[in-house]
Amino acid sequence: MHPKARIHADPVLEVDQFDCLPDSLVLHILNKVEDVRSLGRCFAVSKRFCGLVSLVHDVYVKIDRVVAVDGDAEDTLNLSSPKPRNIFSHFLKLMLFTIIKPFHNMRNPNGNGRPLFAQLSQHSPAQVLWNFTHIRNLRVELPSGDVGTEEGVLLKWRAEYGSTLQSCVILGGTRVDRRPVGGEQEPSLEDNGSMPESFYTNGGLKLRVVWTISSLIAASTRHYLLRSIIKDHPTLTSLVLTDADGQGTLCMGAEQLKEFRENQLSASACSNRTQVPACNMKLKYAPYLELPGGIALQGATLVAIKPSTEGSNGGHTCRKETDAFISGAFDGPFKVAVKALMKRRTYLLEMNGF
């Protein structure tokens, strides 16, 4: 019977080769991770990782599901929106619950025994991001869109904000169909380049107004709920809040974030959202559009929105920037839809602030 062989560690291999990597390279790798839950686990690896993860520039927070919270959490968040706006009022709370597991029992590796993320029980996403002190690019994804629509209806929006609304573009369609590639176009007797009379009589215009107001409420609510994160992270240069359905995207660049910090936020008196200013709107309509990938869009509508205060300042450069924002708002076949709609006749509308 052969004696049991003993395995001895090679002294040469006892040196952790990962420790030989410079901090700059490790930080570059961590920036590629982005996901806040994975980064949260990295906090607990070692003192070195804990120090480097806090310097990460790019963070991505994905919210998987909405969790209803009872008790004192509502008071802590100071959100009291009614049930129809539940996804907004619970936005801050659900961020914690979807990413709490990596952080819940984590202790500070500095040896003081305190939790790495203090006061996590307060259900504040600002506390989840508290130890990330150098965030430059933050992307947050909600589990679904904010505006409820019927099945088969298309509604997408993209808004730019500073301390208030700067630009918003909305793309809608009453029905999205899949058609065989090379199939014949559905006939449309009313498509002469103008808005058909039926658009005003069958509720078509009213529907577009509802889409517009709902999208602006969704954008202004998202904007309002981000104020604490912007305040706590002065290093932010890019902030994007989107949803898994791809319905709406709120974006803020370096200039918008700077303006947000320097100006007083104008909150709506009736709910937890930023006040929507008086706006000028340009509406374009096509009864039927054929798009790449075998997609047909019926009742295609494009709404471009700018605050009324910027109307008098609209020079050639400003119009070019606005057109660039509109044409680049969406990807894929919807980018083609926007390009086609921009060639259609423009109808001007005005809306009071709310």
Q: What span, in angstroms and rounded, lies between the C-alpha atoms of 286 and 301?
A: 7
Q: What is the pLDDT of residue 319?
A: 81
- Pick the range with the lowest mean pLDDT from 8-17, 86-95, 209-218: 86-95
Burial class (CB in 10 A: 0-12, 13-18, 19+), 171: buried
Q: What is the pLDDT of residue 302?
A: 97
Q: What is the pLDDT of residue 62?
A: 86
CB atoms within 10 A of CB 115: 14
Q: What span, in angstroms and rounded, lies between the C-alpha atoms of 273 and 80?
A: 11
* 271, amino acid identity: S
What average pLDDT score do residues 123-142 get? 82
Chain segment 126-135, per-residue pLDDT in tens:
667 888 999 9
Backbone phi and psi for residue 39, each to the nearest 5 degrees, phi listed first: -65, -35
Q: What is the pLDDT of residue 308?
A: 93
3-class secondary structure, 324: helix
Q: What span, in angstroms and rounded, lies between the C-alpha atoms of 93 and 77?
A: 8
Which two structure tokens, joined as six digits, stand for 72?
Answer: 């004192």
**Residue among 317, 311, 305 at smallest CA distance from 349:** 305
* 75, amino acid identity: D
Q: What is the pLDDT of residue 79?
A: 33
Q: What is the pLDDT of residue 312?
A: 52
Measured in whole angstroms, the distance separating CA 289 from the mean position of its chain's CA atoms is 27
What average pLDDT score do residues 18-36 get? 90
Mean pLDDT of the chain: 80
Chain segment 56-94, per-residue pLDDT in tens:
999 998 877 654 444 343 333 333 334 344 444 445 454
Enumerate the H helices of the chain as residue ranges. Answer: 23-33, 36-43, 47-53, 73-77, 86-89, 91-99, 101-104, 125-128, 198-201, 204-225, 227-232, 254-262, 316-327, 333-341
- Check pLDDT > 80 for residue 185: no
Q: What span, in angstroms and rounded, lies between the C-alpha atoms of 221 and 46?
A: 39
Which two structure tokens, joined as six digits, stand for 76?
Answer: 């802590």
Which two structure tokens, joined as six digits, stand for 246?
Answer: 């791809």
Q: What span, in angstroms and rounded, lies between the C-alpha atoms of 196 and 292?
A: 25
Q: What is the pLDDT of residue 19?
A: 80
Q: What is the pLDDT of residue 88?
A: 46
Chain segment 269-282, per-residue pLDDT in tens:
777 899 999 999 99
Q: What global pTM score does this model have?
A: 0.77
Which two structure tokens, joined as six digits, stand for 81?
Answer: 């929106």
Higher-pLDDT residue of 319, 213: 213
What average pLDDT score do residues 333-339 get? 95
Chain segment 311-330, per-residue pLDDT in tens:
555 556 678 888 899 999 99
What average pLDDT score do residues 169-181 get? 86
Q: What span, in angstroms and rounded, lies between the C-alpha atoms of 347 and 174?
A: 19
Q: What is the pLDDT of residue 128?
A: 73
Higher-pLDDT residue of 169, 151: 169
Q: What is the pLDDT of residue 138?
A: 96
What average pLDDT score do residues 221-240 get? 93
Q: What is the pLDDT of residue 265?
A: 82
Q: What is the pLDDT of residue 311?
A: 55
Q: Where are the beta strands (DSSP E) in 162-317?
A: 165-173, 175-178, 238-243, 248-252, 279-291, 295-307
Chain segment 101-112, per-residue pLDDT in tens:
444 444 454 444
**Residue among 180, 183, 155, 157 at smallest CA distance from 168:** 157
Q: What is the pLDDT of residue 122?
A: 36
Higher-pLDDT residue of 12, 33: 33
